[in-house]
Structure 1
Amino acid sequence: MPELHMSRPQSFRSESAFRIAWVALAPLRATTPFQTVAVSFWLIDRGGSFTQVGLAVALPTFAALVGIVLGGWLTDRSNPLRLLLWQNIVALCIALTLLLSGRMEQYSEVAVIATISVYGLVNGLSGPAARALTPRLLDESRYNFGNSVYSSITNLATIIGPLFGGVVYSSAGFEWCILANIGALLFGAIIMFVLSVRTRTSRVLADGAGEVGFIAGVTAALKFAVATRWLLVLMGVDAVIDVVTAGLFQTGFRALSAPLGGSAVFGVVMAAYGIGAIAGAWAAGQSRGWGLKAFAVVMVANIGQAPLIAVLPIVDVGPMLFMLVWVGALNGYANVVYMSFVFSRIPASMAGRVSSLLMAASLSLQPVGIACFGAIVDVIGVVNLFLVCAGVLLVVSVVALVLWRGIKSQLRLEVTDGQ
């Protein structure tokens, strides 16, 4: 077995650094959607086509996939705080370029789309690094807390980012949207510089792990995921749920809101779910961990969502919003327990790469769910769509629990880097 090298700072110092890092990351996560909003409406105001608007949204998403995979590899090779520092600096330069380009009449729409796509790639680097702050700065007993912070801030940014981005664009224009993002990047870079100098992150690396090339590193993570049965089952369940969730959010909830008031109701629907998700993540963060029971807890939370999802289209608005809060809470709780379980059972030297695989799989499957569910609504209607989603969620979770009985013994052995 390769020799292991460990260096962990005192818990108080690590947790303080974790909290400060997320103080810096929170405004950045909230203002990053400002760029997409600003560029989309900038293109429309200049008379650009909706094809260009679609590219301005789609290309940064695909670029982020590449950035996420690359970010996972870089995270396992380095201090995630230092990686976030350089990511902020590079993103700041790109945002400044975008600001200047928006003010230049001769700057082409194609160049603006290319610039925001490069920003998407660089922004993707931050995903695995931000995830890795939990296992690299916190003790295992605080993983639920760390993942709840990640989940809560991400969910909140998803709700308020596009909302406030639209408000800023309509009231102040393109420049102020980009300036808000630039301010967050500058603030984040300063904080990450101070933290990267003053804080030592824990490192558990086998000899030579820091010299593993990109292709070899990603391949090793894929082989590990395939060879680890419990992780493979979790990833399979997560993939199916990502397809269902993306389809419900972007297609199902819109179809549900259309006869009730359209876009205004859709915003309230998403807010109800988001509030529940934040509350669920916070509740999970207060617990010390479920140990081997975490797998079953995640599946039971998924099963609990199924009946609520099934009846959403057939109840009045008030009960529907109430149930959406609970659906969000169960999902938020499950997500935190899920990631804490993964971090506590995988080699620390693969935390970044495994996180990047999970994030990349989720992001790449979302368009599949959105496209498929749109076609399904046209064929079977909204009520049947929600019944199908609930059924899929229920069946997949029950099957996972059955499989869990056969692989639980594997997790009774402590996972180490040499295995």
Structure 2
Amino acid sequence: MSTDSLPPALSRSVLKYRDYRLFLLARLLVTAAIQIQSVAVGYQVYEITSDPLQLGFVGLAQFLPMLALILPAGDLADRFNRRTILLLSCLLEAVVAAAFFALTVFKVEALWAFYLVLALFGVVRTLSAPAGQSLVPLLVPPEHLSKAIAWSSSAFQTATIVGPALGGGLYAVLGPEAAYSICFVLALLVAVLFGMMRVSMAPRDIKNSTAFQRAVAGIDYVKAHPIILGAISLDLFAVLLGGATALLPVYAKDILQVGAFGNGLLRTAPAIGAAVTGLWLGYRPLNQKTGAWMFGCVALFGVATVVFGLSENFVVSFVALIVLGASDMVSVFVRSTLIQAATPDAMRGRVSAVSMLFVGASNELGEFESGGAAHLVGTVPAVVIGGLGTLGVVGLWMWLFPALRKVDRLSDVKAGEEYRSA
């Protein structure tokens, strides 16, 4: 049954499921911790070096472990209890926060030490990402999946509103030690929440296949379904080119001159737009011309990136980042729903791993690309060129993936089937 045919009261009842409520709270808190930590690390590294290229290496240090481990992590999510994987990942995140706290307290300024801890953080995120994405369909009935994903995305974006502002404020008033302490406590609390969940999944022993065959099965599945491939690759190249957020410390300190607290506010702005859009989608999911909406919003993402890149006014920059986040949220919603709806549960971990590889490349590798481009041609030209590149990608992908552009209702996409536009 489609959620669109359900009565309004029933369509909003996704929050009545206990494990899903625990998952939402856990996602909210762990994302806030990650955002607080990211703001603190980025600004701390830039204060030590005053070199935007080093911000690029912050992203690269997190991406390389993902590149190496994400496919095996997807295999783990399909074979073992996803809740347990997430619980262990939170305990490792507490170790990461404690390590950053130690580096700060002992006044370590050797960048290799920061990059080493960031690499460990990349390992933690890699282990947790496929399990987290593929856990949601186990928490709610299929008819509630699109709304569950929308609420989950909204919780994520709400945390990215609170997290950066809190991280910037803590850094400015109490120093990075306070930010890392909060991250440590939140990670332990989230581990407790996952421990309270009752959902379980029997371990799957996939016979007659090697670990390598199981790991690459997700790639084969994505290749066989061009709609999924088009959605995640569009996000990859659009955000890879339009990764303005990686350079926010440069804008906050040198261009807009608003300091550490202003840096936190700028990091919050995209999340404001995304959270509001996510809440709206939670109540009113896209019911028609979904593919066209996705492409239009990615184009708007590129325009907002150009405006931000050229702005020297804090208010204009803040509003541009809000629009950027709102438009990106539509792409996230469509991509996430497509992946879960078009993939059988036995494959969800591995397909989610492929998606996270693309997302990680667009975010962490995008940070490296933005930092390197800013080092070579300057910060403002790098951001503007990236935004224009995003617009070019939209046009090219509309031509390469016409079936994605013609997707009407997300409920028409079924697991294991290739969608054919009318």
Partner of 1:84: 86
Partner of 1:193: 195
Give the C-alpha shift of residue 91 in structure 1: 3.5
Residue type of the partner of 2:149? N
Partner deviation per Cα, 1:36-90 (whole Å, 9 max, x = no partner) = 5666777899x89979987666424433444544432221112221211122234
Residue type of the partner of 1:294? T
Identical positions, percent: 19
Partner of 2:279: 282
Task: Work out whether 1:297 is the aligned partner of 2:293.
Answer: yes
Change (3 A) 1:253 1:172: closer
Partner of 1:358: 355
Change (3 A) 1:108 1:391: closer
Change (3 A) 1:66 1:156: farther
Question: Relative to structure 2, which stretch is displaced further, 385-394 or 332-341?
Answer: 385-394
Could you tell me how far apart the structure 2 residues matched to 1:387 and 1:68 are? 28
Partner of 1:16: 18
Partner deviation per Cα, 1:271-291 (whole Å, 9 max, x = no partner) = 443211111122112235648
Decide whether the 8 Å contact of 2:150 with 2:282 is kept in 1: yes
Could you tell me how far apart the structure 2 residues matched to 1:354 and 1:217 are? 11
Could you tell me how far apart the structure 1 residues matched to 2:54 and 2:282 are? 42
Partner of 2:154: 152
Could you tell me how far apart the structure 2 residues matched to 1:224 and 1:259 are? 45
- The structure 1 residue matched to 2:122, chosen from 100, 110, 120, is 120
Question: Relative to structure 2, which stretch is displaced further, 355-364 or 321-330?
Answer: 321-330
- The structure 1 residue matched to 2:234, chosen from 233, 237, 243, is 237
Could you tell me how far apart the structure 2 residues matched to 1:192 and 1:118 are? 21
Q: Which ranges of structure 2 fall in alignment gaps of 5 or more residues?
A: 1-12, 418-422
Q: Which ranges of structure 1 fall in alignment gaps of 5 or more residues?
A: 1-10
Task: Work out whether 1:249 is the aligned partner of 2:249.
Answer: no
Partner of 2:341: 344
Partner of 1:3: none
Decide whether the 8 Å contact of 2:277 with 2:329 is kept in 1: yes
Change (3 A) 1:18 1:356: same
Could you tell me how far apart the structure 2 residues matched to 1:311 and 1:43 are? 27
Could you tell me how far apart the structure 1 residues matched to 2:312 and 2:272 are? 20
Decide whether the 8 Å contact of 1:279 with 1:332 is kept in 2: no
Could you tell me how far apart the structure 1 residues matched to 2:142 and 2:285 are? 9
Partner of 1:334: 331
Task: Work out whether 1:168 is the aligned partner of 2:170.
Answer: yes
TM-score by length of 1: 0.74
Give the C-alpha shift of residue 244 in structure 1: 2.8
Residue type of the partner of 2:21? R
Partner deviation per Cα, 1:225-269 (whole Å, 9 max, x = no partner) = 1222222222332222122331x3335996799766566877655
Could you tell me how far apart the structure 1 residues matched to 2:113 and 2:306 are? 45
- The structure 1 residue matched to 2:216, chosen from 214, 219, 228, is 219
Decide whether the 8 Å contact of 1:243 with 1:368 is kept in 2: no
Question: Relative to structure 2, which stretch is displaced further, 378-387 or 65-74?
Answer: 378-387
Change (3 A) 1:252 1:391: farther
Question: Relative to structure 2, which stretch is displaced further, 234-243 or 97-106?
Answer: 97-106
Decide whether the 8 Å contact of 2:101 with 2:181 is kept in 1: yes
Partner deviation per Cα, 1:172-226 (whole Å, 9 max, x = no partner) = 455433332221122112221121xx2345x8x9x74388554222211111112
Partner deviation per Cα, 1:328-374 (whole Å, 9 max, x = no partner) = 32321231122112211122222122222122223224146415753
Give the C-alpha shift of residue 397 in structure 1: 5.0
Decide whether the 8 Å contact of 1:295 with 1:338 is kept in 2: no
Give the C-alpha shift of residue 324 in structure 1: 4.8
RMSD: 4.6
Number of aligned positions between the proteins: 397
Decide whether the 8 Å contact of 2:291 with 2:407 is kept in 1: no
Partner deviation per Cα, 1:107-147 (whole Å, 9 max, x = no partner) = 98756653453243123322222212222212233233222
Residue type of the partner of 1:395? G
Partner of 1:31: 33
Decide whether the 8 Å contact of 2:14 with 2:144 is kept in 1: no
Change (3 A) 1:194 1:49: same
Give the C-alpha shift of residue 384 in structure 1: 6.4
Could you tell me how far apart the structure 2 residues matched to 1:114 and 1:379 are? 26
